[in-house]
Amino acid sequence: MSDTSIAFIGGSGLYNIEGISAIEKLNVNTPFGKPSSTITIGKLNNLKVAFLPRHGINHELNPSEIPTKANIYALKSIGVKRIISISAVGSLQKEIEPLHLVIPDQIIDRTKSRPSTFFEKGIVAHVSFANPFCKSLNKLLFKTGKNLNIPLHKNKTYLAMEGPQFSTKAESELYRMWGADIIGMTAIPEAKLAREAEICYSTIAMVTDYDCWHENEEDVSVELVIQNLKKNINTSKKMIYKISTSVNLDYDCECSNALKNAIITNIDSIPKEIDDKLSLFTKKYL
């Protein structure tokens, strides 16, 4: 199924997609190791889709352990052009309530120890990341959520933290001062690596709590997150199902040409092993 052009990456609580038929499980090896799990591919309302649980099928990988390079490379290798990520987040703003969904358009990277580029060790590329989420996919997600009457927010900023611990109150208040709207642990480096791979990438962020800044709410806990996760998962599954009935995959956008003019390194100086390793991304330019 090399023409599987759209993939869903499931976050906390979402380890499968109901309703997929003609299921096949793919074990994909990549130059960056194995992905988080086998990739499920099949049909959802006659749309060929792929699904990958980022934390593993048993949620055995913490946010910093996710093999994101392998995940993105594997999805690219089977023909994926668009990724819709589903992830749990905390709210940093009063009007964004638990059980609401958010389609962010900006991101602040506060991660510390995660490899976030494919281009290193002999090759350098500087891709544009001013708009980190795909504008076309974002429009589709927002329209879908509104048609389903889901409480939904757009044009919000996602702050990506390292984890796996939750924020301190001082950190939470600082991020609010910066103008961040939601906080999560997984959109980075996914968004950066997807852009380098020229894959459109957007996030359905499921709000589970008010982080720890809200004086009238209990501090974020695993129990609270899990309780609201279960409710949010049902909502996100409705969106996924609806997307599969209406998604238009014929458009082109700036994401699909992100590497054009971005590779700075002299072609003749790129080590052969690096050239071979990245040819999946670079073959149309080098």
Q: Which residues are catalytic?
A: 209, 211
Closest alpha carbon to 72 in 160, 200, 194: 194
User: Phi, psi at residue 24, to the nearest 5°?
Assistant: -135, 140
User: Are 87 and 205 in contact, with CB atoms under 8 Å apart?
Assistant: yes
DSSP for residue 30: B
Quote the tokens at residue 189: 């480096």
DSSP for residue 256: G
Name beta bridge partners: 41: 24, 50
CA distance 255 to 163: 28
CA distance 31 to 191: 19
